[in-house]
Chains A and B, each alone.
Chain A
Amino acid sequence: SQKIEQNSEALNIQEGKTATLTCNYTNYSPAYLQWYRQDPGRGPVFLLLIRENEKEKRKERLKVTFDTTLKQSLFHITASQPADSATYLCALEGDMRFGAGTRLTVKP
C-alpha cells in the first residue's frame, strides 16, 4: 500500500532563514502531490500542488520540488517569519493519503 512520510516531526529555525521540509513516499507513482498548512485547532489549508511533470513550482516565498526518481518532494519557505509557524502536511494524489506533518516553529 502507499506510504507517505514526512521525516521531521518538528523543525525550529531562526527568522529570515529558509525552512526546508521533506516528504517521501513509496509504493506509488502519484500524478501530483499537494502541500497544506494547518494551524492549531483548524482544518488544513491548501498551499501548492505540483504535478509529476513539473520539477519545481513557486508561490511568493514558497517553493516546492518534486523528484519522481527519488520519490520525494521538498517544500521550502524562504525568508521565514514567525507567522509561518504551523504544521505543514503533504498529500498524495489518489486516495489523498496525508503525511503526519512537520511542525515548523520560526523564532524571532
Chain B
Amino acid sequence: NAGVTQTPKFQVLKTGQSMTLQCAQDMNHEYMSWYRQDPGMGLRLIHYSVGAGITDQGEVPNGYNVSRSTTEDFPLRLLSAAPSQTSVYFCASSLGWREDNEQFFGPGTRLTVL
C-alpha cells in the first residue's frame, strides 16, 4: 500500500492564480481531511469528508473548495490564491470519523503564494 499520497510536493503561485492539490489513499478509508500547518499554530482543519459525496467545513475553510467523488481521492482547490494561503498542506485519512482510529498523513505540499 502506498498509504496517503499528495502532489505536488512544492508549488509557487502568484496572487489570484488557482490550483488543485491532489490527495489519494489506497486504504479504503471513509474519512479524509485537509489541514494546513503554519509556524506556531499547529495543524488547522480546512475541510473534511466522511465518505464519497459528503464534505463539510473545518476550522479554516475560506478560500478553499473540496469534493469527494470517489473513496480514494480528495482534492483541495484554491480558487484565487492569496499570500495568506502560504503554508504546508497535509491530507489525512482514517477508517472512520469520530472513532478512535489513527489518522494517516500524507507527506505534505509546501505552497508559497507571491
Given the known inter-chain contacts A42-B107, A45-B105, please indicate yes or no for A96 contacting B33, CB distance below 8 A. Answer: yes
The CB with the most chain B CB atoms within 10 A, among A4, A34, A44, A93, is that of A44
A105 CA to B43 CA, complexed, in Å = 21
A42 CA to B48 CA, complexed, in Å = 21
A54 nearest CB across to chain B (Å): 11
The CB with the most chain B CB atoms within 10 A, among A4, A9, A93, A100, is that of A100
B100/A95 in contact, CB under 8 A: no
Flag whether B103 is at the interface (Cβ < 8 A): yes
Main SS at interface, chain A: loop
Which listed residue (A41, A42, A101) contacts B42, Cβ 8 A? Answer: A101
**Size band of the interface chain B makes with A:** 20 to 34
Which listed residue (A32, A89, A97) contacts B100, Cβ 8 A? Answer: A32
Which residue of chain B lies nearest to A31 when distances are taken between CB atoms in the complex?
Answer: B100
Q: How many residues of A contact B (CB 8 A)?
A: 25
Which residue of chain A lies nearest to B4 when distances are taken between CB atoms in the complex?
Answer: A43
A49/B33 in contact, CB under 8 A: no
A43/B108 in contact, CB under 8 A: yes
Give the interface of A toward B (CB within 8 A). Answer: 4, 9, 31-32, 34, 36, 41-46, 49, 51, 89, 91, 93-101
A–B complex contacts, Cβ < 8 Å, 9 sampled: A31-B100, A44-B105, A46-B104, A49-B100, A51-B100, A93-B100, A95-B45, A95-B58, A98-B35
